[in-house]
Amino acid sequence: MRVIVGRPMDMAVAEGPAADRALVARCLAGERAAERELFRRQRGRVHGILFRILGGNRDMDDLMQDTFIEVFRSLQGFRGESRLATWIDRITVRVAYRYMGQRRAAVSLEAVAEPGSHEDAGGESRAAAREGVRRLYAVLATMSPHARIAFALHAIDGRPIAEVARLCGASAIATKLRIWRARRELMKRAAEDPVLAELIDEVHGGAVTRDADDGDAAAVAGEDVP
């Protein structure tokens, strides 16, 4: 569903395993310029993940701050076994999990379009898109954090099942099942909501996931997966 929310630039200039390790070392040495550089490189990526999971949210600034506080507190544990960006993605997902667990009943659903998306559309088109996105996130807000995050990372952020599973600390089968459950609920609600149905049809021709295998998920639907 990249048409809904555009993927931001990852600010990946001069990134790579060696550059990541060097930047982390400078941060751990207390170099303020390095801390600012890390924040500059990763802020768009972190915001994008939080936005796709939670929608437009009045707590976004606090969530961004919480994420980077945890990033800097945890840098000592960065081993360079994955890209720094991937390591930060995992922290961002944990922050989203924690937020949904604490604020499940009070999640803000402003669900506005991310800056830069629908720029060329007319006012009517933008209004329709905003309403469709609002309804999408209203449905997602009724789901468990596990299902919502797995679905958002896969169907909205466009990440493959294997990557979503790693970010969520789950098996591929559990991840497929969570996405399948989210998709089933979304399609059920879309059958009763023409605006939501139109959004789904426009974005993926009625298919709200690309890689999740309905057969695999249904086969384990009775398993105890949160």
Q: The pTM is what? A: 0.79
174 in the same domain as 88: no
- Predicted pLDDT of residue 200: 82
Residue-wise pLDDT for 108-123, tens only, equals 444 444 544 544 545 6
| Within a domain: 59 | yes
User: Measuring CA to CA, how many Å separate 92 from each of 42, 134, 187, 219?
Assistant: 11, 22, 28, 31
User: What's 25's domain CATH number?
Assistant: 1.10.1740.10
225 in the same domain as 196: yes
- Final residue belonging to a domain, choices 57, 79, 108: 108
Q: Above 90 in pLDDT, residue 1?
A: no
| Within a domain: 176 | yes
Residues 208-225 have a mean pLDDT of 49
Domain around 51: 12-108
| Within a domain: 3 | no
Residues 130-148 have a mean pLDDT of 92
149 in the same domain as 84: no
- Predicted pLDDT of residue 125: 72
- Predicted pLDDT of residue 177: 97
User: Measuring CA to CA, how many Å separate 61 from each of 47, 89, 148?
Assistant: 9, 17, 21
| Within a domain: 118 | no
pLDDT band of residue 24 (cuts 50, 70, 90) is very high
Residue-wise pLDDT for 34-50, tens only, equals 999 999 999 999 999 99
Number of domains in the chain: 2
Q: Above 70 in pLDDT, residue 9?
A: no
92 in the same domain as 40: yes
DSSP label at 41? H
| Within a domain: 1 | no
Q: Above 80 in pLDDT, residue 6?
A: no
151 in the same domain as 104: no
pLDDT band of residue 81 (cuts 50, 70, 90) is confident
Nearest to 44 by CA among 24, 64, 29, 71: 64
